[in-house]
A and B are shown apart, each in its own frame.
Chain A
Amino acid sequence: MPSPRTTDGEVLRPGWGYASVTAKIAGLVLSRPVRWPWLAAFLATLAMTLVYLGAMTWLFIKGVGIWGINIPVGWGFAIANFVWWVGIGHAGTFISAVLLLLRQKWRTSINRFAEAMTLFAAGMAGLFPILHLGRPWFAYWLAPYPDHMNLWPQWRSPLVWDVFAIATYLIVSALFWYLGMLPDLATMRDRARTRGKQVAYGLLALGWRGEARHWARHETAYLLLAGLATPLVVSVHSVVAMDFAVGNTPGFHSTIFPPYFVAGALFSGFAMVLTIAIPLRRAFQLQDFITEVHLDHAAKVLLATGWIVAYGYLVENFMAFFSGDRFEIAMTVDRWTGFYAPVYWAMLACNVLLPQVLWWRAARRNTLLLFVLSIFINLGMWMERFMIVAQSTSHDFMPSSWGLFIPTRWDWIFLAGSIGMFAWLFLVFIWLLPAISISEMRELVKEERDEPRPPARGSSHRSVQHGGSDGRA
């Protein structure tokens, strides 16, 4: 059993006790005065969200023609954004589920907001397939239900698989997130000073009283959900990848897509975790909870997944020529030299070249550099999605039908709008809910205390008892 004090540093700075940890994290929500930077960010993102909603209204009134899409490029930003957001939505579940099963202590302090991020990203992603429909009001036809037309979805279409994949993922990650939060909600309820907050958190806490039975059930359910969520991490983006792999268009039709998409998803997901974690720990002085060790680990994951993605690029280009398929070759050459070539090379720079600095420990521990890098990786991953979606179709089988996709202002508004709404939801989250798991942090504290005695999982509820009054009703 590895101690939290790992070889290359600690995941929780010493000197923290149950009470102080609890007070610190809960305080972020309950007793933190609203400061202007947060307020400014909140208002700005709220404005973007409203613009986004307005743009959607206009889209439903006019039709998808307000975007730059055309024949041959039937999908533009909408689907690129969709794939990008789904990818970002991966890290959370990976961190909380897979790392939990792997007993990785360092996940503790980041899993909560990572899961929130997952939820919101998946939500953003889930919107786009509906928005991009020509007749969105019939979106429900993709769901199987007995209707008076005796019609069912067309099961061979990957888009139908998508509906199930995304929906399952959303539900499971939401449950996982909420279940993990129950003890903390109880803590919030008990620490809340105003009646309103007590009632609100109380309702959400579902009457959690921290009894041993509660903890036992909680542990089991949490582990079960983790087990349930783990395959989803792989399945969701594999299915999304098949939206393309099943198609016959050069640039779509590639068997490596599922693994390559999953790796890309984790890549962009962890990048987003860093993009969020670094400002977060800075803004709320969480350096003691989210230490360099966390950033270091995340950076290593970035490096690893980054190389898998790079391998994907390599194989794509290799197979184009190895297969000898003239359409694939023409499409690939167009990627290198065609109208969208700048995007392609920029993408390679962001996703393959820049991450190599992470070989150096110093770079992995330099928060500013990590932050900038994570932004670039997010950018690069979006460009990758765009290249797959737009460039491939713009240059397929019939030269006479080749045509370019030029984004209109509406395309940009929808991209920016989804980012704004995502950020806004996240700000609301850290405003109302504990951004770091209190209960699990306290486990960390405990394990530091009674080292080297291995902690018995069942005894974890006792740690709560130490915590003072929390949980007693």
Chain B
Amino acid sequence: MTQPPIPEAGARLERVIEVQRGAGVNRRQVLAAMAASMALANTACSPPPRLQAHPYVNLPEGGAGGQPMYYASAFVRDGFAHGVLVGSQEGRPIKIEGNPAHPSSLGATDIYAQASVLQLWDPDRSSVVRQRLAREGDARVAPQIASSTWSAFEAAWLECADALADPHGSATLRILTGPMTSPTERALLQTLLARGPRARWHVHAPLSDAAAADGAWMAFGRHVAQVAHFDRAQCVLALAADPFSDGPGAVRHAMDWSSARTAVRDGIAGARAPVLFAAEATPGLFGARADHRVALSPARIEGLLWRVAAHWMPELTPADVGLADPAAAAFESRLLAALREAGSSALVIGGAGLSAEAHALVLALNQRLGAIGRTLTLIEPPDAAPGAGTLADLVDALKAGTVDTLLVLGANPAYDAPAVFDMPHALQRAKLLVHAGLHVDETARLADWHLPLSHAYEQWGDARAHDGTATLLQPAITPLYDTRSAAELLALLAADPLRDGHALVQRQWRTGREADFEAFWRKSLRAGVVADSAAPPLEVQTARLPARLALPAESPSATLTALFVPDAATHGGAFANNGWLQELPRPFTKITWDNAALVSPATASRLGMSTGDVVRLQAGMRTLDVPVFVQAQQADDLLTLPLGGGRRHAGRVGDRVGFDASVLRPASAMTLAVTLQKTGRRHEFAVTQHEIDQHARELLRTVSVGTALAPEPKRDQLYPPFASPVHAWAMAIDLDACIGCNACTIACQAENNIPVVGKSQVAKGRAMHWIRVDRHDLEEIDNSGFQPVPCMHCEQAPCELVCPVGATVHDSEGLNVQVYNRCVGTRFCSNNCPYKVRRFNFLQYSDETTETLKAQRNPDVTVRERGVMEKCTYCVQRVARARQHAEREGRPLVDGDVVTACQSACPTRAIHFGDLNDTGSDVVHARTSPRHYAMLAELDTKPRTTYLARIKPDA
């Protein structure tokens, strides 16, 4: 660590240099320069410059820091609340934990909630009001943008507000929002709409499947939201759906499924777990966990659905039922048996790519099975927008030129709307376009006014969970910039007397509770949820059976079905500027910093394509060049196009990463017939795992129900066994629970200040994730298996033997610690690590310049510099915090005091961590399981991180 030169010496040299720049240099000056440079060189070994200490002017509650404080709040994605606890240190939100009291979380989180904290500190967030001065007709020309103020906007708004309010006037107002569940915001929106007789609300949900909503309408003549209960189900059938990653209830689904399997995992005789059937077009997390899985194109999945439904719906005509599908026969027969056995404990879920009829049929089938009310609850959609128009309606109005003022609130149609709408031009047709959002995105750049919105963790607010439970948002930090929450903005627009978010939310919830409001408020705020506010189940009449559409004609061989899905990490582009997510290996392809068109091996060989080929897709007039990635588990003749790439104005991270599939996307459907031709160009993917086959090395093991793994042979030790008398920390990862959702990877990255390295570095093999999730093809169950791999903390650690400076050593509690400040970077430890879990700072990866990113860092974890080795530490800072807390209180540590970041994020509770010396601890229980094994045990490294084998489905 070299010290900056002492200012005086520096100044002296400055002066000398000045002199030297002068015309002639004489001997004296040269000597002076030499002397000065000597002095300067000397400062390297002079004492460090005096640092200053700035105390608080008023010490905040909670003290000077060092202890994290947790605020119950929620992260709002697609309008739905994901309950979280915002962990903040020294007043900075730095880590997100799940809120155990929240129905969509139960204490776990998904990757988006974990990465949301980086979104808060995103240096590219919009910080000021921006006004466009000169307005060009052409959106492609960069207009004159000037930063402005909220008061300026308010003044400007008042003018057109009067015009809008005028009952005899003609000025029209359209408001475009994303899905909206917040009671406060919806109430304010209503008042705003009420003020202007010619105001209308439109909802734009880029990733939601219109067919699903239409299907519900078809079946029940009303909109419904489906809440699945995996814990009550005996048999779950997912049709082109991935309930473990799609929708606001995904984490809860995984959690319920996992807990329903606990008995089976513990080997309790006669225990039953829900049997999962997946008929999927493109690989998803649910399919990878399914006991029985078949890959079919959406059309054939519908065929399967109709055939299955027929067994419960005799009234269906043979024309509806159609012909049998040999590819799915075995799957189908098993499925029928399981559904019959399960009866009302069955659950059928339809997903993107199915037609409205199919969705209607799914609902009807659930009803016939008796599932509705038991494994499936139908509720009023929390984001229902009665009377609200669609994006298509808005575009028509825009094209007709009947829109004077368009207010886009928290949406980015200029990017994520299907290209058929030609949004960039359509938006220009509005006489006044106002955009409010977190970023100066594609839409913001077209707007006359751009208004910066507050992040979820900066504002007071509310939103509803997937089951309708009301969730309160409280700020964990005052807004970083001069921003407003959506509610505050709506209040401003609606000329509401109240402008402060706290007051607005309180007013919303006080109605009807005036008596005991304070108590209610404190209680709800503390819990993060409003007790018993879940939406009541709907009573629906018997579902009307849809009529099946004529099967599409056999398509020519050059034509493929394109299926549009949200990208597994950037979620349709909304998180494109989030480095953690861009660099997150997608669960199946392990691609980072990219999106790829997935095709099955059979289709690839039929069309003579291989991974990396760039092909030109054509649908009607529009074309799109995309790189192909050949993916097993993919249905034949199907092309999966992840949405969320090719952002033009996401920010420094997300611009021009991958391709923008919405160029081809049709107005409403999620599928499209495309023709394909090769361009001859190649594309390099940055992939973190090149070898999917585990070469029979039994890294990821499977067992049949009730059977035990062969115990490891006892090996003689040359050295005495490692002793950790006080505590012996260990981790056991249950591969039967892991669904490969990557939440642990992002949680670890947030907790441990793990840098983002960028595509080129990942391509070189330098990704920094401390806990990676390996995927293996498991022949024995003909499916994918996921295996999280953190540091094994071997008791006989090969890495420690070879470090010349003792920078990696064991501590007395069995942690294999990496002492960054001692590491010289020989990398011998990594060469010698059989599990290859060590990560090296080949270059200066940690961003030391961007202020906001510094603020996100965990103060309890050293930020590593260039040339230093790093790796999983079992969250040693959390261990230390727990220990110090216990020592202050003079009590022993108990099981559960230490929870690692990966463990707390895991939606299926697959990760067990604890003290081996505590015989009652969770991890000890896990290690006694007959499924317990150590990876590469024959190397006899005595790993502290061990695994529980995945249970094979009984055929």
Contacts and interface: CB of A to CB of B under 8 A. Distances in A.
Q: Report if A and B associate in a common complex.
A: yes
Interface of A: 62-66, 68-75, 132-139, 141-142, 151-154, 156-160, 163, 243, 246-249, 252, 326, 330, 393, 396-404
Contacts of A137: 2
Nearest to B836: A401
30 contacts: A68-B764, A71-B838, A71-B840, A72-B765, A72-B836, A134-B868, A134-B869, A135-B868, A137-B2, A141-B804, A141-B805, A142-B805, A154-B804, A156-B801, A157-B803, A157-B828, A247-B798, A247-B802, A326-B697, A393-B831, A396-B834, A397-B835, A398-B835, A398-B836, A400-B689, A400-B691, A400-B772, A401-B689, A401-B835, A402-B691
B844 A63 contact: yes
Contact of A134 (B691, B801, B825, B936): B825
B830 interface: yes
B822 interface: yes
Contacts of A160: 804
Contacts of A73: 765
Contacts of A139: 824
A262 B205 CA distance: 70
B824 A138 contact: yes
A133 B824 contact: yes
B831 A134 contact: no
Contacts of A404: 765
Given A133-B824, A248-B832, A399-B691, 8 more contacts: A71-B830, A134-B866, A136-B867, A141-B805, A153-B804, A398-B789, A398-B836, A400-B774
A330 B697 CA distance: 11
B399 interface: no
Given A65-B843, A70-B842, A157-B804, A396 B836 contact: yes
Contact of B824 (A135, A330, A396, A403): A135
Interface string B250-294: 000000000000000000000000000000000000000000000
Nearest to B766: A70
Q: 7 nearest interchain CB pairs?
A: A134-B825, A134-B867, A65-B842, A70-B765, A74-B827, A65-B843, A401-B836
A400 B694 contact: yes
B806 interface: yes
A134 B824 contact: yes
B824 A398 contact: no
Contacts of B694: 399-400
B444 to A, nearest CB: 36
A157 B797 CA distance: 13
Given A151-B806, A402-B690, A397 B834 contact: yes
A74 B840 CA distance: 9
Contacts of A63: 841-844, 866-867
B251 to A, nearest CB: 26
A159 B826 contact: yes
B697 A399 contact: yes
B939 interface: yes
Nearest to A402: B691
Contact of B826 (A72, A133, A249): A133
Given A135-B824, A138-B824, A160-B804, A248 B830 contact: no
A279 B844 CA distance: 46
A62 B765 contact: no
Contacts of A151: 805-806, 822
Given A158-B802, A159-B802, A398-B834, A69 B824 contact: no
Chain B binding surface SS class: loop
B209 to A, nearest CB: 34
B21 interface: no
A187 B695 CA distance: 69
Contacts of A134: 823-827, 840-842, 866-869
A396 B936 CA distance: 12
A141 B806 CA distance: 10
Interface string B198-226: 00000000000000000000000000000
Contact of B832 (A69, A249, A330): A249
Contact of A71 (B825, B839, B936): B839
B738 to A, nearest CB: 14
Contacts of A399: 691, 693-695, 697, 699
Contacts of B692: 400
B867 A133 contact: yes
A136 B843 CA distance: 13
A398 B699 contact: yes
A69 B842 contact: yes
Given A62-B843, A326-B697, A393-B831, A400 B776 contact: yes
A66 B272 CA distance: 55
Contact of A154 (B766, B805, B842): B805
Q: Which of B802, B825, B826 neighbours the largest number of chain A CB atoms within 10 Å of its CB? A: B826
Contact of B830 (A74, A132, A154, A246): A74
Contacts of A74: 827-828, 830-831, 840
A69 B827 contact: yes
B680 to A, nearest CB: 24
A159 B787 CA distance: 34
Contacts of B867: 63-64, 133-136
Contacts of A397: 697, 834-836, 936, 939
Contacts of B844: 63
B766 A65 contact: yes
Given A70-B764, A75-B827, A154 B834 contact: no
A134 B844 CA distance: 11
A141 B821 CA distance: 12
Contacts of A65: 761, 766, 842-843, 866
Contacts of A326: 696-697
Contacts of A62: 843
A144 to B, nearest CB: 11
A300 B840 CA distance: 46
Nearest to A394: B765
Given A62-B843, A399-B691, A132 B765 contact: no
A151 B835 CA distance: 29
A379 B853 CA distance: 49
A72 B939 CA distance: 18
Q: Which of A68, A71, A252 neighbours the largest number of chain B CB atoms within 10 Å of its CB? A: A71
A139 B879 CA distance: 32
A74 B764 CA distance: 12
Nearest to A408: B764
Nearest to A154: B806
Nearest to B866: A63
Contacts of B823: 134-135
A397 B692 CA distance: 14
A71 B765 contact: yes
Interface in B682-702: 689-697, 699
A262 B114 CA distance: 54
Contact of B828 (A66, A247, A398): A247
Nearest to B805: A141
A158 B802 CA distance: 7
Interface in B749-782: 761, 764-766, 772, 774-776
Contacts of B939: 248, 397
Nearest to A403: B765
Nearest to A160: B804
Nearest to A129: B826
Nearest to A67: B842
Nearest to A68: B764
A281 B596 CA distance: 63
Nearest to A135: B867
Contacts of A247: 798, 802, 828, 831-832
B163 to A, nearest CB: 60
Contacts of B839: 71
Nearest to A163: B804
Nearest to B798: A248
A409 to B, nearest CB: 14
Interface string B884-914: 0000000000000000000000000000000
Interface in B810-858: 822-828, 830-832, 834-836, 838-844
